[in-house]
Homo-oligomer: A and B are copies of this chain.
Amino acid sequence: MLSKTAEYALRIMILLTERKKSSQTAKQIARATQVPPGYTVKVLQQLGRARLSKGQRGRNGGFVLACDPEKVHLLDVVNVIDPLARIVECPLGRADHQHSLCPLHKQIDNAIAELEKSLSSMSLQEVIDSGESSSLCQDHTNSSAELSIHATG
């Protein structure tokens, strides 16, 4: 029920959290997360506008985390890309439902609330901490080689 783009953004934020000590080029990010390169750039722009990540110029340029991964939850990332829309008013515009939704829309809203609750129960850091580093969903092929090349400029 999350859009593909929101899921891509989560993969990217988890990668930036895991590798927060060094900046990552868009190419490295795309390769490690297996997010298509065009999408990667688009998502990084959206994350940057929301100040969750930032780009750095220069020799060690690339993208780094720009938030506290213990305070940013999965829901925050999803809401940057495709905000979960709670039902705040009657979709049919009925005046008598203005302050109280009908049973159907109340139940749909409850369901969205459950989705929100679950996504807000885990921070980026908790995702990292809850698994072995090696079990995170990333392609580690050549990533250390790339990083070493990058670090020595």
Contact = CB atoms under 8 A, between A and B. Distances in A.
Copies in the complex: 2
Contact of A135 (B11, B103, B111): B103
Contact of A91 (B84, B104, B130, B137): B137
A45 interface: no
A137 B10 contact: no
List the 9 closest A-B pairs by CB distance, nearest first: A111-B118, A103-B131, A114-B114, A102-B137, A103-B130, A115-B115, A114-B118, A1-B1, A103-B127
Interface residues of A, number: 45
Chain A interface mostly? helix
Contact of A7 (B2, B10, B84, B108): B108
Interface stretch (A19-27, A57-65, A92-100): A92-100
